Amino acid sequence: MTTYSDIRYDMGLSTSATGVGGMVLLATETASSSDTIDFTSKIDSLYKEYIFKFINVHPATDAAELSFQANAAGGSGFDETITSTYFRAVHNEADTAATLNYDANRDQAQATGFQEIASDVGNENDQSASGYLHLFDPSSTTFTKHFILRSSVYIADTGARDQFVAGYFNTTSAIDEIQFKMSSGNIDAGTFKMYGVL
């Protein structure tokens, strides 16, 4: 009798993630004064969902924004068309500011810029940003490519920021490359992981 694990072994997948919805680690990139972090392979039709985790991303430049973009298959320049939404909650250490608001300056409407995912990240020794990005069915040639993400940031003004972003790449071409970068300066440190979801 063929088991689910047998099928996954035959496909060359890790058997460490069990059951439908298990995550398979496909790649890990560690930033060290890096201009960009690029995932340019292993994004294909094998998985219907990909999860990118960014862990303790520390910028060289204070109050920089971590952002991402994509390339369609055969494309270059990381400039696909995005429509997105962006809202955030903020609370500072002094307990003098606590807000929840939609930020129209950080969304996109049929634009090709990098999408901000963690804003105003502090560059003091203990400041960083962490979070995750879900990309759905990037190999589809029928539908646009949806994404959702969430990040937690220790901001430059010494406080916590919880950010929510969602949107889509407005292309029916397959997406096969993802790039992360800071709005200014490099990524001084941080770990980026890409998973395929079964």
Geometric angle at alpha carbon 31, from 175 and 59, rounded to 5°: 100
Structure confidence at residue 18 (pLDDT) = 45
pLDDT at residue 20, as a whole number: 55
Closest CA to 64 of 193, 195, 156: 156
Q: Which CATH number does 20-197 carry?
A: 2.60.120
* Strand ranges for the chain from DSSP E: 23-34, 36-39, 49-59, 64-72, 82-92, 98-102, 109-111, 115-121, 129-136, 145-155, 159-169, 175-182, 187-197
Give the pLDDT confidence score for residue 120 in this predicted structure. 97
Over range 130-148, report the average pLDDT. 98
- CA-angle at 21, arms to 20 and 23, nearest 5°: 120
Return the bridge partners of 133, or none: 52, 149
Per residue in 94-126, pLDDT tens? 999 999 999 999 999 999 999 999 999 999 999
pLDDT at 22 > cutoff 70: yes
Q: Give me the residue spans of the domains in the chain.
A: 20-197
Identify whether the C-beta of residue 196 lies closer than 8 Å to the C-beta of residue 26.
Answer: yes
pLDDT for residue 15 is more than 60? no
For the entire predicted model, the pTM comes to 0.89
Confidence class for position 140, pLDDT limits 50, 70, 90: very high
Q: What is the pLDDT of residues 54-76, one digit of tens each?
A: 999 999 999 999 999 999 999 99
* Residue 10: pLDDT over 50: no
Rounded to whole angstroms, the Cα distance separating 76 from 163 reads 28
Closest CA to 122 of 172, 167, 63, 171: 63
